[in-house]
Amino acid sequence: MKFFIVGLHSSGKSDIVDVLERKGISCGHIFSDITTPKDSIYNSYNYELYTTKDVNEVFENDAYLFVKECKTGDQKFYEGLSRHTFENNDVFVLSPDQLLVTSFNNVDEDVCFVWVDNTKSNRYNKYLDDRKTYNFKQREVVETEDLSTFVKTIYTKPMLYFCNEDPARIASIIYTMVKYPELQEIFFENYN
């Protein structure tokens, strides 16, 4: 089973991935051909940097779950999730707008969404604590624009839901589910 950690910006997704990677869980990262990464540009979590040629090859070979064009100021770039990254990792992070353009057609493995929910005030405090510099309000608009569609999409697959939860605790649950698949049903019964 593949696990997609989804949630609004500054909800703690990257903190969960940090714990999982330290514990040896393979986490796939979104690719981008952004030429000059800046703190002021929101990224879902540590882009895997591709060249424009790499992005074109992924696109031409239909080797992706999603590719989308992004624009910030005068900088245009692409981001996406390659099929190679998907096949070789267990856990991924997606923002709601990325999830909405992700295709799970021709995916042979089961997928579980781990929805990390948090109040706007808690997310804003985390944004300040982490000293993020992207535009919080702008990102909020992008991610909440199609929130009802996002919610409908997320309920199409097995799901775990956490609200205002400690990221280390969520990471522990995902770790257990990856390492001990026979215990997955217990978590689905209690966190769905």
Mean pLDDT value of segment 81-99: 91
Q: Is the pLDDT score of 36 beyond 80?
A: no
| Predicted local confidence at residue 125, as pLDDT | 80
Give the tens place of pLDDT for each residue, 51-83. Answer: 889 888 988 998 999 998 887 777 788 889 999
pTM: 0.84
CA angle 176, 181, 182 (to 5 degrees): 110
Residue with more model confidence, 49 or 103: 103
- Tell me the pLDDT tens digit for each residue of 98-112: 888 888 877 888 999
pLDDT band at 92 (very low <50, low <70, confident <90, very high): very high
Q: Is 128 left (phi over 0), alpha (psi -120 to 50) or beta?
A: alpha
Amino acid identity, residue 55?
V
Span 144-185, pLDDT tens digits: 776 777 777 777 788 888 888 899 999 999 999 999 999 999
pLDDT band, very low/low/confident/very high, at 35 (cuts 50, 70, 90):
low
Per-residue pLDDT at 143? 75
Q: Which domains are delineated in the chain? A: 2-191 (3.40.50)
